[in-house]
Amino acid sequence: MILLVENLSVNYGKIEALRDLSLRIDEGEMVALIGANGAGKTTLLRTLSGLVTPRSGRIEYLGREITRLPSDKRVESGIAQVPEGRGLFSVLSVEDNLLLGAYIRKDREEIARDLQEVYRRFPILEEKRNEYAGTLSGGQQQMVAVGRALMSRPKFLLLDEPSMGLAPVIVEEIFDAIDQLRQSGTTIFLVEQNAHLALDHSDRAYVLENGHIVREGPSRELLDDESVKEAYLGG
């Protein structure tokens, strides 16, 4: 098991964003988290990556408790997040944005190899390596965001709404890359507004409502579940 979350609660002031949330993710899995806007999905990812401090509960990663571990130490331990909205530095080049993902690393030769691997996965980024990231299309920026996360050599990748605002053909390309990552052994936790897409590509899934897990199970079963269909899959 790579991740264990037990009874996690997060508050923003008096607002309870997550409430007694528990889940687990095994190594090598792709697990999806689906739910409506405002359900707490992004809050959970930000808590797992150390950007939000929980009010109570615990987070265990690879058998080690990391509930209060700073975010930079989580990156060092192999956790990387592709944030909602991508979070690129628009006035830096594509290549500089990618290299920022390797800021904790000192192995220059391996960094150079990993950069070439990102370019292999996303050839358009090599073509545009010297262009400002802010001039790219939305789909190309998402490729940079994924590539930047990969430059830290993550064991556990958190993806927050990777399809948001993208054309279907670009979504397919992004998810092909995500599938390849999972096949290469990277464990992935996928938050995705497009529930059908998330369930199609994941092994298991959790359903989050009002900060609390209300359903869980194999993704194929949830695709056929009438209540999930009605709430998230358009009937």
| Confidence band for 184, pLDDT divided at 50, 70 and 90 | confident
- The mean pLDDT value of the chain amounts to 92
Q: Are strands 204-209 and 30-34 parallel, antiparallel or unpaired?
A: parallel
Q: Among 89, 98, 39, 27, which Cα is nearest to 63's?
A: 27
Residue 37 has phi, psi (to 5 degrees) of -55, 135
pLDDT band at residue 234 using 50, 70 and 90 as cut-offs: low
Q: Please give the distance of CA 228 from its chain centroid, rounded to a whole number.
A: 22
pLDDT at 58 over 70: yes
Please tell me the distance from the alpha carbon of residue 68 to that of residue 50, in angstroms, as a whole number.
Answer: 8
Pair of tokens at residue 127? 């073509």
Q: Cβ contacts of residue 21 below 8 Å, gap of 6+?
A: 5, 7, 8, 9, 40, 44, 57, 208, 211, 212, 213
**pLDDT tens digits for range 133-154:** 999 998 899 999 999 999 988 9
Coil, strand, or helix at residue 31? strand
Q: Say what the pLDDT of residue 181 is.
A: 87
Q: What Å distances lie between residue 43 and 18, 36, 95, 231, CA to CA? A: 8, 13, 29, 21
* Whether residue 235 has pLDDT greater than 70: no
pLDDT at 85 over 90: no
Task: Return phi, psi of residue 202, to 5°.
Answer: -105, 165
Model confidence at 48, in pLDDT bands (50, 70, 90)? Answer: very high
Mean pLDDT of 47-62: 96
Domains of the chain, each with CATH number or no CATH:
1-78+154-235 (3.40.50.300), 81-152 (no CATH)
Judge whether 217 and 24 are in contact, CB under 8 Å. Answer: no
State both tokens at 158: 């958190």
Mean pLDDT across the stretch 26-30?
96
What is the Cβ-side half-sphere exposure of residue 27, based on CA atoms within 13 angstroms?
10
Average of pLDDT values for 53-58?
A: 96
Length of the chain: 235
